[in-house]
Each structure stands twice: as C-alpha cells, then as structure tokens.
Amino acid sequence: MQLTGIGVSPGIAVGPALIVEREDVPVVRLRLGPDAVPAEVDRFLRAVAASREQLEGIKERLARDAGSPHGYIFDAHLLMLEDPLFKDRALAVLREEHVNAEWAVRKVAEELHDRFARLADDYFRERSSDLDDVLGRVLLNLRGAGDAPSLRRLPGSFVLVAAGLAPSDAAELDWERVLAVATDEGSATYHTSILARSFGVPAVVGLREATRRIAPGSLVVVDGTRGQVVTEPSAPMLASFRAAQERDRVEEERLQSIQALASVTRDDARVVLLANVEFPDDAETARLHGAEGIGLFRSEYLLGRTREWPTEERQLEVYLQLLRDVTPHPVTVRTWDVGLEDLAPGGPTCANPALGERALRLLPRAPDAFRRQLRALLRAAAQGPLRILFPFLTGPSDLRAALDLLAEARESLEAQGLDHAARVEVGVNVEVPSAALTADLLAGEVDFFSIGTNDLVQYVLAADRGDPRVSAHYQPLHPAVLRLLRSVVAAGQRAGVTVSVCGEMAADVLPALVLVGLGVRELSMNPAAIPRVKAAVRAARASELQELAEACLDLPTAQEIESMLRRALADVLAPLAAF
Ligand code: PEP
Ligand code: MG
C-alpha cells in the first residue's frame, strides 16, 4: 500500500512501524474531606514542578542535540504551566470545590479550551493542542508516571507513525532510534518537520490516514525526498528503495565534495547561490553548505512563539551575528512579514490572512515595531554588507511608503548621533502579481529584486500554497508564472538591478535551471538544497538553458513544459539522484 504526503525531511528509511497513540489519561472525580485538601494542593504543585523540570530538560536537550535554538517551542509551554489562568485557577478549584487535583486540571482544561475555541483563529487553535500537551503532562505527573510512556526509551529502532506529534513528544523522542517519521497531520513548517530536518531523519507529513492504515510492526518505507510511504513493500520494490537509498548516499557524498567549487555553468555563467535562513544559528549551516551569503533572513522568526517584538538592541546583535557568520558575503534581511493574527494573538484576525493585513500593511497598528527594525538594520549595515528587503509590496506606492519609513529611521539615528550606514542596498520582494506587473516602475527605485515565487505562484494561480487539496493547481512551471517571471527579469536587467529568486523554485533543480535560462543569476534557497543546485548549474550550459526557457514560454501547460525540460536536460539531471 502506498500513501502520499508532504516530504519534509529528505532521505529514505526502512523499518518496522511503531504507532504512537496519545492515550487520554482516565480521570476520576473524588470529593475530598477538608483535611485532605492541603495534601492535594501539595500533590498538584509537585506535579507542576515536575512538569516544569521535564520541560526545561527537554528544552536544554534540544538545544544541545539539534544544535539549533528550537527550544523556543517550549517557552510557550512553560508559560502556560505558570499562567494564573491555569495554575491559580486549578488551585482555586481544588480549594473551593474540594476535588482531587486530576479533576481540577481537567475542569480548567475545559475552561481554557472554551476560551481558545471562541477566539477561533489558527494561532490559538495551535495553542489549544499545546495546552493538551502541557496538561496531559501534568496529569501523567499526578499519576506519578511522568516519564513512563517513554518515547525517550524506544525498545528498538522504528519508523514512527503518529496522527501528530506534539512538540514535547517530538523533542523528547529518542531520535537516535527513530528511522523515519510519518504523520497524518502537518506541513513543512510543522514543528516536527523542523526537528526531523535538524536530526537528519526522513519524514513525510500530511498523510491523513497513516495511523489508520499502517499496522503496528509492519515493514514501512518512508521516502522523505519524494513524500511517499509504502507499507509491506514487495521484494522488488524494497530492492528499488534500497538502491535509491544507496544512490542518495553516494550522491550526498559527491555533493559534499563540490561544496568548495564555484557555481558556474559549463559556458562560464556565474550563478550566485545564497541561503534562506530562519534562525540566526543557521547562518553557520548555510556557510558549510557553500552559501555565498544569506539571500533571505525571515526576520519574523525572531518573534518566537510568544510573538513579542524583539528590541532594537537585540535585533542589532542578531543582524551583526549574521554578518559575522557569513562574512565577507551579504546578508539580506526581510522586514517583518507577519499577519494581523501574529500581531495581537487573541485580537482581530483577517478573513483571509494571505490577502489581508500583513507585512507593511500593519504599519499603522505597529509603527514602533517597524521603526525599531529599520533603525537596527541601518545600524548593522554600518558594519557590513547588509541588504534590506521589503516583502509583500504591491507596487510603487507601497514602495514609497517603505522608503519614507526608512528615511525617517535614518533621520532619527542622525538626530541621536548613532552610527549607521550612509547607504544601504534596498530591495523589493516581488511576490504579489501587481508588483511583478509594475516591476519596470519599481526597478528605478531599488537595488535588487528578490522574487518570492512561493507567494507569487499562489497569487497568480489562485492556489493556496498551504492547502494540500489544491496542491495540483500550484504549478511553478505554469506558463503564466514563467511569462511573468520573464517580464520581471527583463525589467530588472533593463534597469541594471540584481534579480534574485528566493522561493522554493530556486531550490528545486528543474525550475532552478529554468530560472537561470530566464536570466536569473542569483538563487536563494534552504541551505541543504545548495549542493544539488550547484551540481546542476555546473553540469548545464546557460546558452542552452536560455533556449529551453524561451521554448517553455510557447508551451501551453506545466506538464508539457516539465516533460520537455526533462527530456532536454536528461544529461544534466541523470547524475542527480533525487529525480
Ligand atoms: C516567497 O514568498 O517566495 C518567500 C520566499 O517568502 P515566504 O515563503 O516566507 O513567504
Ligand atoms: Mg512570501
């Protein structure tokens, strides 16, 4: 049986399935005599303290093992644990109603879920599952079995199959013994996906029915590169997976060996490869993968799960660290690309966040946050090649507003006599069709374009990038997308503006080669994709890619474009195992 999901961490693994069921802890309700209440209060506080200790332990272990600061995921859990709405309220229920601690926790959980449900926005729905995770832990600790159902001590090596993995389960996992992960829920930005990538464990998420259809102990193949899960594979199928696994390994070694080589086509066209980075610590990973700088730092990750705007000084520190980590290469920082729901959790939301108040549209609601960021960026730019990228602009009037804000930030620094860059490179994220259609008007005002194809494709084709039900309609090689890209590149070239692409198209070999054919000479992608794209660039000829890109523009469908490219580029693609 074969299931298809979203491959979020590459590689192939084969092993027996371990199904993770999150068992609900049965809760009994007891009425206590008044004398028993103090001891019950004590038992509750001990369970909270044990939960706190475990969460802090997970946080530390995670920071150590994954080498990345993903422990922030647990800050929200720790906050929830100490939140008066939980802790004080549970104590009040205990004392006033004379019930056992388990029942008090259950009652408060219901109250909080009600509150979250009324808020009905994605952020709070996510927090609702966090709440289950935290309170489930307290209940287990009340049973004196906090560490009992142990994902930390797996009885062997397994392919983990779960409906969803709560962040604390994922962090507590004995990753050494996890061969692969397959979940019913999830997306590429799911916490479990981030962690699986950090640990180099193949993962496929969004499988919908994996837990229902995979029998415990059955042999499972997880192909995280291609987003496939196969159960009880036939002998020939297994052999072909093993062969693909071996090819991936050899390929990986070969790709590592090209890290230090230049990114140039066979006919000497230079294609600069940069990294997309979410967490400041990942800049080092980017460098190790051969990135020639950071083409996109998604600065909003600095808000963390608590959604607090970082101070100007904290930002300055981060931007300077990024510059140091990739010196002498440039660092491109994108200004806050957040939506209304991120701004004030629990506050107003947009009917459609992708089309609503986001990025600079939020300026009237959070003017200081934007000012502080631009001041920090200008200050950091005095120390190194930092570039400022404005996302989600719809055309020249948005750009003017952004440039005015930047000028205002510069004046305020001047007035205070604080050191800052006299001149800084400024770019526009071309990711809304109206910006693409006015690229010629924008080009005169900026130093670079960074085409955000993740969004551009969804807006051009009216296909939500996050909705798996319309993923077949999300086609980066659609002729409308390629024609629009061509016009943006041409507008940039005419004005002498650098044109970079920072969407996932740049990370995928076939579309990346089309981009080079369209004249793009700067590609920014997740660091892990760099060696493969570099191998493809080095095997191709820019002149041939240009002819192919032109030929693509005359074909009517994405499918025909893709087949034509695969045929024409067979020699370039053949040595790259992932095809
Ligand atoms: C994009 O839209 O292509 C992009 C790179 O930004 P994000 O994925 O963060 O929207
Ligand atoms: Mg975008």
Contact call for residues 305 and 127 (beta carbons, < 8 A)? no
Is pLDDT above 60 for 305?
A: no
- pLDDT surpassing 90 at residue 310: yes
Q: Among 187, 302, 393, 454, name the best residue to mutate to test ligand 1's pocket (greatest count of ligand atoms within 8 A of Cβ).
A: 454
Residue 578: partners with Cβ closer than 8 Å, 6 or more residues away = 10, 225, 226, 248, 251, 509, 532
In percent, the amount of the chain with pLDDT more than 90 equals 53
Ligand 1 closest atom vs CA 276:
5
Q: Does the pLDDT at position 288 exceed 60? A: yes
Instruction: Round to whole Å and give the CA distance between 335 and 232.
Output: 48
DSSP state of 214: S
Residue spans of beta strands (DSSP E) within 378-439: 386-390, 425-430
402 and 543 together in one domain: yes
- Clarify whether residues 139 and 189 are in a common domain: no
Task: Examine residue 356 and state whether it is found in any structural domain, yes or no.
Answer: yes
Phi and psi at 481, nearest 5°, equal -65, -45
Q: Quick check: 328 pLDDT over 90? A: yes
Closest atom of ligand 1 to 455 CA is 2
Longest distance between any two alpha carbons in the chain, whole Å: 86
pLDDT, average across residues 483-504: 97
| Choice from 429, 430, 515, 520 to test ligand 1 binding pocket (greatest atom count within 8 A of CB) | 429
Q: Would you say residue 562 has pLDDT above 70?
A: yes
387 or 247, greater pLDDT: 387
**One domain for residues 272 and 340:** yes
| Residue 201 shares a structural domain with residue 121 | no
Q: Strand, coil or helix: what is 389?
A: strand
- Give the mean model confidence (pLDDT) for residues 494-499: 97
Nearest to 360 by CA among 350, 370, 352: 370
Q: Mean pLDDT over residues 186-202, rounded?
A: 72
Q: What is the pLDDT of residue 229?
A: 95
Both 209 and 320 in a single domain?
A: no
Whole-angstrom distance, CA of residue 308 vs CA of residue 86: 21
CATH of the domain at 19: 3.50.30.10
Give distance in angstroms: CA of 140 to centre of ligand 1.
40
- In this structure, the answer to whether residues 70 and 204 fall within a common structural domain is no
Say which CATH number the domain at 562 has.
3.20.20.60
CATH of the domain at 35: 1.10.274.10
Domain stop point among 244, 277, 307: 244
Position in ligand 1 atom list of the atom nearest CA 502: 5
Q: Which residues line ligand 1 (CB under 6 A)?
A: 296, 298, 337, 431, 452-455, 502-503
Relative orientation angle of helices 101-119 and 87-97, to the nearest 10 degrees: 130
**Consecutive H or E run containing 222:** strand 219-223
3-state secondary structure of 506: helix
Q: Is residue 194 part of a domain?
A: yes
The protein residue with its alpha carbon nearest to ligand 1, atom 9, reads: 298
By most ligand atoms within 8 Å of CB, the mutation choice from 274, 299, 455, 458 for ligand 1 is 455
Instruction: Return the percent helix, strand and coil in the chain, to nearest 5.
Output: 55, 15, 30
Q: State the distance from the centre of ligand 2 to the C-alpha of 454, rounded, in angstroms.
A: 6
Classify residue 254: in a domain, yes or no. Answer: no
Q: With H, G, I as helix, E, B as strand and everything else as coil, classify residue 373.
A: helix
Q: What is the pLDDT of residue 578?
A: 44
Question: What torsion, rounded to 10 degrees, do the Cα atoms 550, 555, 557, 562 define?
Answer: -50
Closest CA to 474 of 489, 457, 487: 457
Mean pLDDT of 40-53: 90
Asked if residues 362 and 340 have their Cβ atoms less than 8 Å apart, the reply is yes
pLDDT at 147: 44
> Within a domain: residue 193?
yes
Distance 354 CA to ligand 2 centre (A): 10
- Residue 198's pLDDT band (cuts 50, 70, 90): low
- Comparing CA positions, the residue from 446, 456, 449 lying closest to residue 483 is 456
* Tokens encoding 442: 């924008």
Among candidate residues 93, 124, 144, the one where a domain is terminated: 144
Residue 18 DSSP SS3: strand
Residues contacting 222, CB < 8 A, separation 6+: 12, 13, 14, 159, 179, 180, 181, 182, 202, 203, 204, 228, 229
What are 500-559's pLDDT values in tens digits? 999 889 999 999 999 999 999 999 998 888 988 999 999 999 999 999 999 999 999 999
Locate tokens 């960021």: which residue?
373
Q: How far is CA 284 from CA 215, 275, 279, 501, in A?
A: 41, 10, 10, 21
Alpha carbon distance 177, 333 (integer Å): 37
Range scoring the smallest mean pLDDT among 185-189, 249-253, 432-436, 561-565: 185-189
Q: What is the pLDDT of residue 560?
A: 98
Tokens of residue 569, six digits: 């580029």
Structure tokens at 455: 């969004």
Q: Is residue 579 part of a domain?
A: no
Average pLDDT of span 563-578: 86
- Cα–ligand 1 centroid distance for 560 (angstroms): 26
* Band (579; pLDDT cuts 50, 70, 90): very low
Looking at the structure, do residues 14 and 53 belong to the same domain, yes or no?
no
Ligand 1 atom nearest residue 431's Cα: 2
What's the average model confidence in pLDDT over 219-225? 92
Return the bridge partners of 4, or none: 228
- Whether residue 132 sits in one domain with residue 173: no
Least confident of 16-25, 273-282, 506-515: 16-25
Q: How many domains does the chain have?
A: 3
Q: For residue 202, how far is its CA from the centre of ligand 2 (angstroms)?
A: 26
Length of the chain: 579
pLDDT mean over 215-229: 90
In a domain? residue 57:
yes
pLDDT digit string, tens, across residues 443-471: 999 999 999 999 999 999 999 987 878 88
The answer to whether 254 and 535 are in contact (CB under 8 A) is yes
Are residue 272 and residue 233 in the same domain, yes or no?
no
Q: Which of 463, 453, 403 is nearest to 433 (CA)?
A: 453
What's the 502 CA to ligand 1 centre distance in angstroms? 7
Report the pLDDT averaged over residues 236-263.
84
CA dist., res. 20 & res. 529, Å (int): 31
Instruction: Place 355 in a pLDDT band, splitting at 50, 70 and 90.
Output: very high
Three-class SS string for 38-64? Answer: HHHHHHHHHHHHHHHHHHHHHHHHHHH
| pLDDT mean across residues, the chain | 88
Q: Is the domain of 195 the same as that of 330?
A: no
To which residue do tokens 């990024």 refer?
Answer: 322
Per-residue pLDDT for 149 more than 50? no
Structure tokens belonging to residue 347 = 């506050």
Residue 482 structure tokens: 């390629």
Ligand 1 atom closest to residue 298's alpha carbon, by position in its atom list: 9
Asked whether the beta carbons of 450 and 502 are under 8 A apart, the reply is yes
Q: What is the pLDDT of residue 25?
A: 59
22 has pLDDT over 70:
no
Scanning the structure block, which residue is given the tokens 């962040």?
167
Among 68-82, 200-214, 413-427, 492-506, the least confident range:
68-82
The helix-helix angle for 122-142 and 101-119 (nearest 10°) equals: 180
**Of 330, 251, 257, which is closest to residue 289 (Cα–Cα)?**
257
Are 331 and 443 part of one and the same domain? yes
Residue 255 located in a structural domain: no
- As a whole number of angstroms, the distance between CA 482 and CA 298 comes to 25
Confidence of residue 145 (pLDDT cuts 50, 70, 90): low
User: pLDDT-based confidence at 70, cuts 50/70/90?
Assistant: low
Residue 251 counted as domain residue: no
| Cα 315 to ligand 2 centre (Å) | 21
Residue nearest to atom 8 of ligand 1 (CA): 454
Check: CB of residue 33 under 8 Å from CB of residue 39: no
297 and 393 share a domain? yes
Residue nearest to atom 7 of ligand 1 (CA): 454
Please tell me which residue, 172 or 26, carries the higher pLDDT value.
172
Active site residues: 191, 502
Boundary residue ending a domain (84, 113, 144):
144
Question: Mutate which of 276, 278, 298, 456 to test ligand 1's pocket (most atoms within 8 Å of Cβ)?
Answer: 298
Nearest CA to ligand 1 atom 4: 452
Which of the ligands is closest to the CA of residue 456?
1
Instruction: List the domain range (segments joined by +) for residue 48.
Output: 31-144
